[in-house]
Amino acid sequence: MPSPGCPGTAKRKEVSGIVETRTPSAEIVQEVKEAGGYAYRLCYQCGKCDAVCPWNRVRSFSIRKTIREAAFGLTEIESDDLWRCTTCGRCPEKCPRGVDQIELGVALRRLASNYDVFAASANAIRTVKGSLAAEGNPLSEDRAKRGGWADGLPVKPFAEGMEILFFGCCYLSYDPRLKKVARASADILNKAGVDFGTLGTRESCCGESIRKTGAEKLFKDLARENIKAFIDRGVKKIVVSSPHCYEAFKNEYAEFMVNFEVLHMSQYVLGLIKEGRLKITGGYRKKVTYHDPCYLGRHNGVYDDPREVLRSIPDLTLSEMADSRRNSLCCGGGGGRVWMETRKGERFSDLRLKQALDIKAEVLVTACPYCITMFEDSRANLEGENRLEIRDITEVVQEVI
């Protein structure tokens, strides 16, 4: 329960069973400003954000209302709505006034996090934060087992002078399904003759998603751990599998006055193919559709590279879904939602699988561990024959080299 001094509580009064207007809180307005959420001052309530928000495909939700409440100090920080935003990036790019709705939402979560107030659907964030602080990953796994995904593979610890650092991320390190993606990536790099290494137990979560839940200090602690590990080992070039790591290392770590060359695996693989270092020797006789992850596509503009990789594979038929590229439908896992509870019937990933099936795709390919996690959960609940395959782009490439 929120503490008595927590802003956002007890702002309604009830008279004869009728709930009346909430009392504005100047404290909330000031705290939202201090937390970095002053973007609301530009909003003129046009509603274009609500029109593109994926939540309104599955239920009623208004980010416009959240902005208005923040402007007048009416935010209820224990509200479930505070934790709905997936930070997909659809609303900021449509706003005619340049309001950064993500910045405001994270500021409100930062306020809630400071008071240790979480809606029931977001309670798992407490456990995630504890695991990140203790073990450097959100999955309550032992840090000593971080490099276990590479057992039996010719994968070396990174040493100064190596061509790249391969940074697999937490999910590829521990999740049984996603370890296959890590191993496929390592196989591709080895077959292309890339001199690469990993950090093993010195690798910590990039911190991007926990930052979006409002845990700013924890993000900075994780970032400093990784930056120290990179600098101590002379890392210059980092290849990542997760768009969330890509966002963190390329854009957010710049706040610490460091600059590493960062490539997503799909970009790096395309370069290897074009340079002739990676040879495609087989075909892939399946109808494929590609899902643009929010943090690779909308947030960082990487749309063509993954498609070029897929088009370079003989016999592969590539088709687009109803929502693609800049209009790609979010999987629902960003902004920390991958750790939160989402009710059945409200999962964006269910809609995305339907879009793939509507064009009769046999394989839904993506390039993000969160997307794969969300899609695999939805696939398990598909009615009828569970025929749609969910693959990372590296798993497809591995089959044809």
Q: Which domains does the chain have, with CATH numbers?
A: 21-122 (1.10.1060), 124-272 (3.40.50), 281-399 (3.40.50)
pLDDT at residue 123, as a whole number: 94
Give me the amino acid identity at 222.
L
154 vs 5, higher pLDDT: 154
Among 383, 365, 382, residue whose Cα is nearest residue 184 = 365
Place of tokens 């929502």: 323
| pLDDT tens readout for residues 226-260 | 999 999 999 999 999 999 999 999 999 999 999 99
205 confidence band (pLDDT: 50, 70, 90): very high
- What Rg do the C-alpha atoms of the chain give, in angstroms? 22
In sequence order, the 6+-apart residues with CB closer than 8 A to the CB of 87 are: 102, 105, 106, 212, 294, 334, 335
21 pLDDT above the threshold of 90? no
pLDDT digits (tens, 9 = 90+) for 263-312: 999 999 999 999 999 999 999 999 999 999 999 999 999 999 999 999 99
Cβ–Cβ under 8 Å, residues 321 and 382:
no
DSSP-assigned beta bridge partners for residue 18: 15
CB atoms within 10 A of CB 342: 20
Q: Mention every residue, 6+ apart, whose C-beta is less than 8 A from residue 40.
A: 32, 67, 68, 70, 71, 99, 104
Place of tokens 């590990």: 229
Both structure tokens of 341: 């509870």
In the 8-state DSSP scheme, what is residue 332?
Answer: S
- Examine the pLDDT at 165 and tell me if it is beyond 80: yes
Are 395 and 180 contacting, i.e. CB atoms less than 8 angstroms apart?
yes
Which pLDDT band, with edges at 50, 70 and 90, does 100 fall under? Answer: confident
Q: β-strands 317-319, 261-264: how paired?
A: unpaired
DSSP state of 47: -
Give the C-alpha distances (Å, rounded to integers) separating 310 from 64, 280, 330, 367, 384: 39, 11, 21, 12, 28
* C-beta atoms surrounding 80 within 10 Å: 15
Mapped onto helix, strand or coil, the DSSP state of residue 376 is helix
CB 392 within 8 A of CB 291: no
Alpha-carbon gap, residue 147 to 185, rounded angstroms: 14
Confidence label for 18 from pLDDT (cuts 50, 70 and 90): very low
